[in-house]
Amino acid sequence: MENRRDEKYYKQIGFMCGLEIHQRLATDRKLFCGCNANLEEQQHGPTITRRLRAVAGELGEIDRSAKFEELKERNFKYLISDGHACLVDIDEEPPHLMNRDALEIALKLAASMSMKVPAELEPMRKEVVDGSNPSAFQRSTLTGFNGRITVNGNKIEIPSMFLEEESAGIISNSESYAEYDTSRIGIPLIEIDTFPYIKTPEEAKDVALHIGTLLRLTGFVQRGIGSIRQDVNVSISGGSRIEIKGLQELSDMDKFIENEVVRQQKLLEISKLLNSRNAGVDFEKTDLTDVFSSTESKMISASITASGSVIGFKLKHFKGVIGMEVNPGRRLGTEISDYAKMAGVKGIIHSDEDMSKYKISASELDAIRDKLGMDGEDAFIIVTGKKEIASKAIGLAMERAKLAISTIPPETRAVDNRELFTTRFMRPLPGGSRMYPETDTRPILITSSMLKNAESGAISVSKERAKLVEELSSEDLADRMMLSPKLQLYRELAASKNADRQFIANVILQKFREIQRDGINTDAIPNAAVKEIFALFFDGKITKQAVEQLIRLAAKKAGKPISEIVESNGLSRKTGKALESLIESELKGHSLEDKEHTSMFIKSFMSKYRLNVDGAELNDLVSKLSAKHSKK
């Protein structure tokens, strides 16, 4: 990972990379119903339980990833909250008209990326059988195509953008059962896709950053964990397209891509080695339960005691290969194990491992080799569990082992280890077979006035950055503000009368972080309260020093009116005659003719009243009083 490669290297290996950026929109209601789209805490009411199955798409074929999910035979439970989910969300009522606010945001984004917009929008159903939607589909509408953006001087083609429904939120998950919260289903979601012509992992990160910034600049996107998700598609020459799902930490995107490149290179090396050995997979499943009748292996013994079986198979000329590393902490055996786990077992045991960690004896190893008919260069894989489950797991392991000889299977993969930047198998890569028309809602005609309105609201990331540099007189501050989730809040505050933009940026970028480090949750302060605090400052009713203190108190006393917090904590600004009287009372008849004593007085006064007094005004008044005293 420490040896970063350049553009020339990635071109030589046939590197291809594209992005899918998914961003939840901040609208009042969901995309196809009137339910509340704000994800706040709510009380769950009724529940429903379903088993989902795959159906043929528009082309008459069943998508391989949907069929794979169906074969897991899992049950799904859905929790429903009043006001946040309805019959539309569980496919018991036809969809309502599309949310026009969400559509306007989508059209504005299309204009911002120079995209063409279909004259008529046709909602489609995208098959989803993994449980994340109780209807087994997600509504998806193409709202823009053939667009482009410029990132670091390079043209990045944007072939498509979709306005979609968000999926359900996972609560708990296991091999046979999952529980979901339906509050999130149907919230408007934007998907922006790039062509797979991104040149390097670093450029992928830059493109994702640009698109994420563009989305934030609309001012209508949700924030928080899971509100934006980046999926990456990666392949190299001789490899296959791999989709890495849900990269939420943009800073690590390039490292995950680099590791995927290494994984494919290692798998190609393994394939070449296995072919040179004329390796093969014996598809005969052998019951090895009797081999372990008196085993000291606690894992295997516990499984057999629970009416489980041990099943294995032989891999011809695979010796030493199953244990070959493909990524940090992951080997070919790990890749095979990921497939076997889909059947419900905890993993596999293979002959390249140290058998002592399982307490499998030498005599048991000899018996396994004998029953499987193994030669010296052969390997084995065994699993244990309920016979039906173990048999299914062995079948999946056989298929993955066979693929290791000939190809890298196209897969959808999930993050496995965020510290090592590795991924694991989720399911086969989906194809176009999972799309079919949504016949329960009408097409949407796009008028010239809608397009004109979208064009007038088009956003330019480069122009926004230039504007911030001018306002803040700092490229560093401007770049940090562009990345800040509070950019829109800054924009609203900066538009206020008497706004001190550099002070606003310092509070948002620095002070909020310092307060958060002190263990105070600044996310608990609604933007309306922050605006009220700054309005008091802009109107001269509180000081700069009081702004930070007021933010701290507002976070601790969330929901309490800001005016009450100011009054109860004595944070009102002392100014004019009131300040002059306070100075006179603190002087207690002492003279201000001596500069040293004057300086000491100001320092002492500010120490006592720093939250209530503006330093510049204090200095000005003290100077006037000093001159007044000297005349006497």
Residue 593: which pLDDT band, with cuts at 50, 70 and 90? Answer: low
The HSE-up count of residue 406 (CA atoms within 13 Å, CB side) is 8
Q: 294-332 burial, b for 16+ CB within 10 Å, e for fewer?
A: ebebeebbebbeeebbbbbbbbbbbbebbbbebbeebbb
CA–CA distance, 389 with 258 (Å, rounded to integer): 35
pLDDT in tens, 164-201: 999 999 998 887 889 999 999 999 999 999 999 999 99
- Counting residues of the chain whose pLDDT is more than 90, the rounded percentage is 71
Residues 490-539 pLDDT 10s:
999 999 888 899 999 999 999 999 999 999 888 888 889 999 999 999 99
At 458 the pLDDT is: 95
The two structure tokens encoding residue 590: 């002492």
How many angstroms separate the CA atoms of 37 and 25, rounded?
9
Q: Per-residue confidence at 1, pLDDT binned at 50, 70, 90?
A: very low
For residue 629 the two structure tokens come to 């005293």
H helix or E strand, kind and range, residue 157: strand 154-165
Predicted pLDDT at 29? 96
CATH of domain 274-417: 3.30.1360.30
State yes or no: pLDDT of 456 exceeds 80. yes
pLDDT band at 591 (very low <50, low <70, confident <90, very high): low
pLDDT at 262: 97
* pLDDT score recorded for residue 70: 78
Average pLDDT, the chain: 91
Whether residue 632 has pLDDT greater than 70: no
**pLDDT at res. 446:** 97
The CA distance from 311 to 381, in Å, is 9
For residue 161, is pLDDT > 80?
yes
End-to-end CA, the chain: 77
Whole-number Å distance between alpha carbons of 305 and 251: 48
The residue ranges of DSSP E strands in 252-303, in sequence order, are 280-281, 286-287
Mean pLDDT, range 589-600, rounded to an integer: 71
Per-residue model confidence as pLDDT tens digits over 412-436: 999 999 999 999 999 988 877 788 8
Structure tokens at 529: 């309260």
What is the rounded average pLDDT of the residues 467-484? Answer: 92
Winning range, highest mean pLDDT, from 254-263, 509-518, 597-606? 254-263
Question: For position 590, what pLDDT does the model report?
Answer: 65
In this prediction, residue 594 has a pLDDT band, given cuts at 50, 70 and 90, of low
pLDDT at 104 over 50: yes
Q: Given this model, what pLDDT does residue 234 score? A: 98
Residue 39 or residue 477, greater confidence: 477
Sheet holding 242-247, edge to edge: 422-428, 411-417, 242-247, 228-235, 16-24, 188-193, 154-165, 137-151, 124-127, 435-437
Tell me how many degrees the CA angle 262-265-271 measures, rounded to the nearest 5: 140
With 0-12 CB in 10 A as exposed, 13-18 as middle and 19+ as buried, what is 284? exposed
Residue with structure tokens 């499987």? 372
Stretch 80-103: mean pLDDT: 93
Per-residue pLDDT of 212-248, as tens digits, reads: 999 989 989 987 777 889 999 999 999 999 999 988 8
What share of the chain in percent tops pLDDT 70?
Answer: 97
Q: Classify residue 357 by burial, with Cβ atoms within 10 Å: 0-12, 13-18, 19+.
A: exposed
pLDDT of residue 41: 67
